[in-house]
Amino acid sequence: MSKKMIIANWKMNPLTSKEAEKLFTGVAKEVSTIKKTEIAICPPSIYLDILKKIRTSKIKLGAQDAFYGDMGAFTGEVSAQMLYNIGAKYVILGHSERRAQGETNVFINKKIKSALDASLIPILCVGENIRDENHGYFNLVKMQLEECLSGISKNSVSKIIIAYEPVWAISTTVNRKDATSADSLEMAIFIRKILSDKFGPEASKMRIIYGGSVNEKDCADFLKNGGVDGLLAGRASLDAKKFVEIIKICEASSK
Selected from 234, 248, 249, 250, the binder of ligand 13P by CB under 6 A is 234
What CA–CA distance (Å, rounded) separates 181 from 220?
Answer: 10
Nearer to ligand 13P, 157 or 170 (CB): 170
Q: Is 9 in the site for ligand 13P (CB under 6 A)?
A: yes
Q: Is 183 in the site for ligand 13P (CB under 6 A)?
A: no
Q: Is 212 in the site for ligand 13P (CB under 6 A)?
A: yes
Q: Is 195 in the site for ligand 13P (CB under 6 A)?
A: no
Q: Is 80 in the site for ligand 13P (CB under 6 A)?
A: no
Strand pairing report for 161-164 and 207-211: parallel
Is 103 catalytic? The answer is no
Q: Is 232 in the site for ligand 13P (CB under 6 A)?
A: yes
Q: Nearest distance from residue 233's CB to ligand 13P, in Å?
A: 5
Q: Torsions phi, psi of 206, nearest 5?
A: -80, 140
Q: What own/partner pairs with CB < 8 Å and gap ≥ 24 does 97-100 have?
A: 97/11, 98/65
Nearer to ligand 13P, 161 or 232 (CB): 232
What angle (nearest 5°) sits at the alpha carbon of residue 135, between those of residues 130 and 139? 90
Q: Is 233 in the site for ligand 13P (CB under 6 A)?
A: yes
Q: 179 Cβ partners below 8 Å, 6+ apart?
A: 166, 168, 169, 210, 212, 213
Query: Each residue of 110-124: b (16+ CB within 10 Å) or e?
Result: bbbbbbbebebbbbb
Nearer to ligand 13P, 81 or 246 (CB): 246
Is 95 catalytic? The answer is yes
Listed ranges 98-106, 140-148, 196-204, 212-220: which one lies at the site for ligand 13P (CB under 6 A): 212-220
Selected from 211, 226, 227, 230, the binder of ligand 13P by CB under 6 A is 211
The active-site residue out of 97, 128, 165, 216 is 165
Q: Is 165 in the site for ligand 13P (CB under 6 A)?
A: yes
Q: 211 Cβ partners below 8 Å, 6+ apart?
A: 9, 125, 163, 164, 165, 170, 231, 232, 233, 234
Q: Is 235 in the site for ligand 13P (CB under 6 A)?
A: yes
Asked if 2 contacts 229 with a C-beta cutoff of 8 angstroms, the reply is yes
Q: Is 166 in the site for ligand 13P (CB under 6 A)?
A: no
Neighbour tally for 22: CB within 10 Å: 12
Q: Nearest distance from residue 28's CB to ligand 13P, in Å?
A: 20
CA–CA distances in Å: residue 47 to residues 87, 124, 232: 11, 22, 19
Q: Torsions phi, psi of 124, nearest 5?
A: -85, 120
Selected from 28, 51, 170, 246, the binder of ligand 13P by CB under 6 A is 170
Q: Annotated catalytic sites, by residue? A: 95, 165
Residues engaged in binding ligand 13P (CB under 6 A)? 9, 95, 165, 170-171, 211-214, 232-236
